[in-house]
């Protein structure tokens, strides 16, 4: 049985190679392959190519494991482990040439469903900045060789918070109302456009907190482990109005309950 550190090393190695391919394709020019849930929800040729590379690397190294990726069919494994993969998180940024996108790779044990799985290791590569965020369960969260910890001393100016919006315009009014409820506790708001980077930045103390509805499993699998291993709190709350769009909140412990309450609303 591979240790969490061995799984982490594999996630880092594959995320690095995948990130380099994504960066090369970006430099060569990006082709939109299709749209998915709406005209705003695009997939590029590079998303598919990078996922195929990740899948092939993981199959070669760990043929018995399952796979759950954004751009291809899920595969059940014979081992109890599943790799949860977003080949290019922040695809719209990637297509527009905004250097804020991530390659997110996590490995989980048990049923490959958020809230049921146990995250063992993960890596979030930021190819445009050359940064590699990584964590193994019980071994801390790291940015390259530096150990990460969340901010847990709220500033008198308020919290620096991040959020995001889904591709369905019908959800925007509700998401903006949430922002209005949260802003009284914020010094300012950031919208990076990639949940994996938002969560990595909470783990690194670059953000005090983050909240968003409707993330897919691959958007948060590695990032949630980074936050937890950096001493932060992360939760996923099913929302009665739309069970497909759970609410995700992450921050240091000091502001967590306040942020969750504001994000949930009355
Ligand atoms: C993106 C998320 C982001 C969200 C976007 C989109 P994608 O994932 O990382 O947080 O706001 O709407 O879902 O589609 O680039 O992999």
Exposure string of 72-88, with b = 16+ CB inside 10 Å and e = fewer, is beeeebeeebbbbbbbb
| Ligand 1: residue whose CA is nearest its atom 11 | 164
Write the pLDDT tens digit of every residue in 29-68.
999 999 999 999 999 999 999 999 999 999 999 999 999 9
Pocket of ligand 1 (CB under 6 A): 70, 86, 89-91, 164-167, 193-195, 212, 219
Are the C-beta atoms of residues 14 and 134 closer than 8 Å to each other? no
pLDDT of residue 266: 87
* Mean residue pLDDT across the chain: 97
Which CA distances in Å does 114 have to 198, 218, 240, 248? 18, 10, 17, 11
The residues, ordered by sequence, that sit 6+ positions from 46 with a Cβ below 8 Å of its Cβ are 21, 22, 25, 26, 30, 31, 87, 88, 94
Span from the CA of 3 to the centroid of ligand 1 (angstroms): 30
Q: Which atom of ligand 1 is nearest to the CA of 196?
A: 9
Span from the CA of 89 to the centroid of ligand 1 (angstroms): 6
Mutate to test the pocket of ligand 1, among 22, 89, 236 (most ligand atoms within 8 A of CB): 89
| Ligand 1: residue whose CA is nearest its atom 16 | 89
Q: Which atom of ligand 1 is nearest to the CA of 92?
A: 15
Rounded to whole angstroms, how far apart are CA atoms 138 and 234? Answer: 16
pLDDT of residue 154: 81
Write the pLDDT tens digit of every residue in 82-117.
999 999 999 999 999 999 999 999 999 999 999 999
Q: Which atom of ligand 1 is nearest to the CA of 198?
A: 10
Longest dimension (CA), the chain: 52
Write the pLDDT tens digit of every residue in 194-221.
999 999 999 999 999 999 999 999 999 9
- The answer to whether residue 1 scores a pLDDT higher than 90 is no
What is the pTM assigned to this prediction?
0.98
DSSP state of 83: E
Tallying the residues shown for the chain, one arrives at 266
Write the pLDDT tens digit of every residue in 58-83.
999 999 999 999 999 999 999 999 99
Q: What is the dihedral of CA 216, 226, 161, 169, to 10 degrees?
A: -10
181: its two tokens = 């409820």
3-state secondary structure of 236: strand
Span from the CA of 161 to the centroid of ligand 1 (angstroms): 17
Which CA distances in Å does 163 have to 8, 150, 158, 197? 27, 17, 16, 11
């Amino acid at each position: 049985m591979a240790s969490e550190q061995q799984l982490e090393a594999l996630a880092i190695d594959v995320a690095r190679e995948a990130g380099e391919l994504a960066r090369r394709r970006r430099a060569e020019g990006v082709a939109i392959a299709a749209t998915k849930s709406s005209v705003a929800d695009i997939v590029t040729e590079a998303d598919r190519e990078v996922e195929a590379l990740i899948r092939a690397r993981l199959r070669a190294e760990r043929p018995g494991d399952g796979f759950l990726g954004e751009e291809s069919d899920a595969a059940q494994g014979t081992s109890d482990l599943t790799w949860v993969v977003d080949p290019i998180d922040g695809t719209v940024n990637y297509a527009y040439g905004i250097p804020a996108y991530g390659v997110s790779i996590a490995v989980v044990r048990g049923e490959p469903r958020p809230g049921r799985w146990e995250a063992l290791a993960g890596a979030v590569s930021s190819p445009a900045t050359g940064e590699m965020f990584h964590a193994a369960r019980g071994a801390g969260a790291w940015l390259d060789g530096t150990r990460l910890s969340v901010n847990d001393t709220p500033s008198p100016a308020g919290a620096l918070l991040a959020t995001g919006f889904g591709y369905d315009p019908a959800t925007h009014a509700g998401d903006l109302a949430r922002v209005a409820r949260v802003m009284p506790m914020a010094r300012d708001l950031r919208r990076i456009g990639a949940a994996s980077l938002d969560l990595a930045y909470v783990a690194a103390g670059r953000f005090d907190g983050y909240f968003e509805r409707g993330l897919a499993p691959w958007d948060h699998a590695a990032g949630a482990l980074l936050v937890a291993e950096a001493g932060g709190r992360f939760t996923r709350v099913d929302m009665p109005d739309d069970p497909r769009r759970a609410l995700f909140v992450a921050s240091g412990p000091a502001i967590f309950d306040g942020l969750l309450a504001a994000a949930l609303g009355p």
